[in-house]
Structure formats: structure tokens, C-alpha cells
Amino acid sequence: MLQTLHIKNFALIEHLHIDFSNNLSIITGETGAGKSILLGALGLVLGNRADLSSLKDKEQKCVVEAHFGISDYNLKDFFDENDMDYEEVTIIRREILPSGKSRAFVNDSPINLQELQQLGDSLIDIHSQQQTRELSDEAYQMQILDAVAGNGPILAQYKEQLAAYKKVQAELRKLQEQKAALSKEEDYNAFLLQELLSANLKAGEQEELEGSLEKLGNVEFIRESLARALAVANEEQMGAIQNLKEIKAALQKISGISAEYNEFYERVSSVLIELDDIAGGLSQNYEHLSNDPEELERVSQKLQLIYSLQKKHSVATVEELLSIQEALDSKALLAGDIDSSIEKLVAESGKYSAQADDTAALLHEQRQRAIPVLTEKVTAILAQLGMPNARFKFEVTASGTYYANGKDVMSLQFSANKGTDFGLLKKVASGGEMSRIMLAVKAVLAEYSKLPTIIFDEIDTGVSGEVANKMGDIMKGMSRTMQVFAITHLPQIASKGQQHYKVFKTTQGETTVSELKLLSHDERVREIAEMLSGKDITDSALNHARALLN
């Protein structure tokens, strides 16, 4: 339950510290006095988004701190799962800095907003007029039915199964799209692969073929040049080899005189050996050199094929063509692997869908059992609230579609009076009827949930008189098992509270501030009398207020 609320520098509130008790607490005040500000501050500690407009003084930080007694609400597992320090009196603090940065703390440890929102959902239900409108929403109607049916654990199991099923389905779709893309390209890729395989390409082949083409295309010129070189090297009288031999013989005679001459001799000997070897190689090359038009044609055609493939694939080397060949070959293997993976995922998908189907069927069965219980309880409360002929028709129909809460489709029809046909709740119920229906629903849910606190923000819209009195009785009954706050403009409801707080504005110099005060008994009498008769409080109104309180 909410024990303490501390607010500093939020909207019209400069500084507020208030302690709350259990049972039913009433909050009243004129329109615009700051009741919505109070709820806004409380929303911050429950994880709502914040901005700089929340700061009263833009130069100072805003702090909202709430103390919650949580020992009776089985929240320790949540704290453990989210690695938070558990305290029986848990302190949630929210800060908004002048820079616009927002920070949240639980028991002085930093926490992110998502975790704070999850914790807040287990602490307080703030019922606004917007939530009354949600009563027409199918998902919200299903939540009500599931609460009465006790479907929480089954729903959690279903959601796990549905998440696993959707994950497998996403992977399956991805592979099927891949397969479809591969299938479209399969024939063309097979043609490209066969074309490359037929070319029988080898790394370094292009350079080798280009060299061979150059040689075969210049046979006569090469022959002439080789013959000339051989003639110069091997001429008997003036050939280079003969001259070197003579130089070698001359140096040999003096090589023993000094190391210097011996070095010249060895160097000439080495040159002679090298030149003799070169001449032998040239001679051998000359002998094997021949004009081979067929080989020239073969080399030329192979190079043209390589150039053509390079142009088609927008590359410049044989090595790049070989990489493309390898990639195409891998795609062909991938297609086979995809088929195997798809088959495996189809089997997994079937397993998870079967599990989800079984759990959805159990949810459907539990909901069908809960419908008469919920209908009986809500209609009984509505009879107290001046709607003795109210009737509900819950229809839960199993479908073939997976929804977040099962496979059921909900239809809630309503009739307020005898002799009138059923119609969709959102179309046939008035604003006042919707308020009473929502209070009845909340009263029933209070029996099944372990929620510590509920805040009704003007749930009495559209009602008055004895109906308002009965609404107050119902809220008071709820407060026996949970902490209840009622923000109201009706004196009948205001008189039911164990505690009564008033929100009001005051002017301090040039500044307007909102304050919250716990009223004494006499102050409550005057506040309720003012709610009855306006600012000019009459003796009759005071007597009526005392009667209501007694």
C-alpha cells in the first residue's frame, strides 16, 4: 500500500509531504485545484514519461518519492528476477533534472523505466475516465474474464509458447524467401557456373597465355633476333665467346702474381660460363621456335573467352572469376541446405503450434467456466447501484488465429432494461451506466487480485443521489481488503472515507501553489457541506453533512 508521498518542485507543488493509511481515503477539491497534478506526480514514480514542463522552478530539480508497504504482496520474486534490493517498505524515487534528464531509483538503486512500469503495475491501479472507456475494448474485457478465471499462469505459459512459435515462423519465412530468391536465379546461376567450369580456368593462366600469344605472334622477328645474337656470341674469329676465352687465357698467366689479378681472372671465367650458358639457351630456344598457327589460334580463343567472362562479371582477373565460380557453387549447395533447414523448422513450428493450441483450448475452457461467475457477481453489484435489470451476455468464440491472449474472440453485449435487446456495450451503455459497470467490475476484480492500491479518479461521473451512496458503500467494502482512494465531487461518496484529504490552491506572493491537507472531523463537515450547497454554506447543509458522516 502507499504509505507516504513526498513531492518537491512539481507543477504547482513547491513542497508536499503526506502520509496515507489503509482503508478508504477521499480526495476532494475544486476543479483546477491540483488533483490531476497529484495523480501526475504519482504517475512519475510508476514509470510515466517526464519532461521539463513538470518543473515549477526550471532551475531546480523535481523530486517525487513514494513509500510502499509491500510485505503482503508476493513481490520478492520480481525484485530477485530484476536484480533489485527487496525491502518490505520499498522507496521509489523519481528525479527530473533542469537539463531534462530523468532518473529513477528503487531503494536507492538506479532502475530503468520499463522495470519501474512493471513494478508500478503491481502496486497501484489508477482508474481514470479513460480506463472506463477501455471497458468497451475487447482486450480489456478479456483481461477481466481471465482475472476471474485465474488464468494468469496459463496465459504466461501460452505467451511463452506463442513467442517460440512466432520466432520459428520468422526464421521459416526468412528461409522460404531465401529459397524463392534462389529458385528465381537457380537456372541462370547454373548456366553461369557451367560456363565458368567449362572454361577450366586456372590461377595465373591469363598472364601465361598473354605471354604465349605475344611470342607466337612474333615468331619471325624473334627468330631473326635470336640468330643475330647467336652469331655475335659464337663467331669463330670475332665472337663474344671467343674474345672472352682469349681474355681469360691472358689473365690466367698473371693470376698467380697477386690476388687482384686472380680476382679479374675468376670474374671473367664466371662471365664466360654465364655467356656460354646463355648462348646454349638461345640456341635451344631457336631450334624449338616454330610458326604454329593452330597453337596461336588456341591461345587467342582462350584469351578471348577469359576477356568475355571478365566483362560479363565486371572483374579484371582470372582469380576474381574463380571466386565467383566458388560463390555460385556454394549457392547451389546452399539451396540443398535450405531445404533441410526448412523441413526442420516446419517440424518445430508444428510442435510449438500444437502446444499453443492445447494451452489456448485450456484458456477457452477456463473462460467459459468463469463467465457465469463474473456475470452473476457484476449484475448483483449493479442491482445495488440502481440497475436491477442489467444483463450481460459474454460470448467467447474460439478462432483459428493466434492472439496475444489466446485464440478466443470476445463479444460483450449488454442490456440495461427489461424488454430491450442486447447490444454491444460501447453502443448501448450511457456514461453513468459505464461508470457503474466499471465500479462493479473493479469490485469483483478486487476479490481475485492481490493489488495493494486502487485510485478511482471521478468514477462517479454521471451518477448522483442514492446511486452515489451505494457506490461509496462498494468502495468502502473494497477497502477492507485493499487500499482505496476516491477522487470525487459527490458528498455521498466523500462521507464514506476513513480519511479525507483536500486539494486546494493558495497564493504566495506572485506564485500560486497547490497543497494537500488531511481534514479533521469539523473540517470534513464543512467540506462536505460546501459540496452540498456551494460556497455559501447553510445550516441545513451542515446538518446534512453531519448526517452523512454519521
pLDDT along the chain (550 residues), means of 10: 92 89 90 83 89 81 93 87 90 91 92 91 83 80 91 93 94 85 68 78 77 65 71 72 79 83 86 84 73 70 80 84 79 69 90 95 95 93 90 91 93 87 85 86 84 87 83 90 91 93 86 89 93 89 91
- Angstrom distance (rounded) from CA 199 to CA 179: 28
Q: What is the pLDDT of residue 145?
A: 92
Q: CB-based contacts of 408: which residues, under 8 Å, 6+ apart?
A: 142, 360, 363, 364, 367, 396, 397, 398, 399
Q: Would the pTM count as exceeding 0.85?
A: no
Q: What is the pLDDT of residue 336?
A: 65
Q: What is the pLDDT of residue 475?
A: 92
User: Which CATH superfamily, name and number, covers 1-123+451-519?
Assistant: P-loop containing nucleotide triphosphate hydrolases (3.40.50.300)
Q: What is the pLDDT of residue 491?
A: 93
Q: CB-based contacts of 526: which residues, under 8 Å, 6+ apart?
A: 537, 542, 545
Residue 476 half-sphere exposure, CB side, CA atoms within 13 Å?
A: 14
- Angstrom distance (rounded) from CA 446 to CA 452: 10
CA angle 105, 108, 112 (to 5 degrees): 25
Q: Go through the chain and tell me how many residues it has.
A: 550
Q: Look up residue 73 and give its amino acid.
A: Y
Q: Where are the domains of the chain?
A: 1-123+451-519, 178-337
Helix pair 205-216, 219-234: axis angle to 10 deg: 80
